[in-house]
């Protein structure tokens, strides 16, 4: 069985994430995802809109993802590759070259990102929305999570 491992925050889950996960899954038989915890995001100076538990639930509901585990620090990747017996370590090409040292234990692949959409761009656009409209959007996003939960 060929196992693919990847990592990310996967906040404000969007079609770019789906396309990436689909491509990653096509590289092997099983896709495992290391999902940045809220604490790890804080250490990186990032704040997720959705909590780790919510993002994990969204990822677990995606048909391309076989397993989700917490990413708690930068240094765990080698141990995770060995633990999950990963054959391929794959990341978006914005990380190109940053994980080449893992080539000694598995194949390292960098895939192109979906250029038309990104969580950063979504957050930038949302930051221009004011007051009641922002509350409506937040409520809608949480409703989407509840719908996704019900699809299991």
Residues with catalytic function: 44, 46
How far apart (Å, rounded) are the C-alpha atoms in residues 39 and 73? 9
* Cβ pair 106, 88 in contact under 8 A: yes
Q: DSSP letters of 4-27?
A: EEEEE---S--HHHHHHHHHHHHT
> How deeply is 114 buried, as exposed, middle or buried, from its count of CB atoms within 10 A (0-12, 13-18, 19+)?
middle
């Amino acid at each position: 069985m060929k196992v693919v491992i990847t990592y990310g925050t996967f906040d404000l889950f969007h079609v770019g994430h789906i396309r990436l996960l689909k491509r990653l899954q096509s590289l092997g038989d099983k896709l495992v995802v290391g999902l940045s915890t809220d604490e790890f995001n804080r250490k990186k100076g990032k704040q997720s809109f959705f909590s780790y538990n919510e993002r994990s639930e969204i990822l677990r509901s995606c048909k391309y993802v076989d397993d989700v585990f917490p990413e708690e620090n930068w240094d765990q990747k080698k141990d995770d590759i060995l633990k999950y017996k990963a054959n391929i370590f794959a990341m978006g090409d914005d990380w190109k070259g940053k994980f080449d040292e893992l080539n000694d234990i598995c194949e390292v692949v960098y895939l192109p990102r979906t250029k038309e959409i990104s969580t950063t761009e979504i957050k930038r656009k949302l930051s221009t929305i004011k007051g009641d409209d922002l509350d409506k959007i937040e409520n809608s996003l949480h409703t989407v999570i509840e719908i996704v939960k019900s699809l299991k």
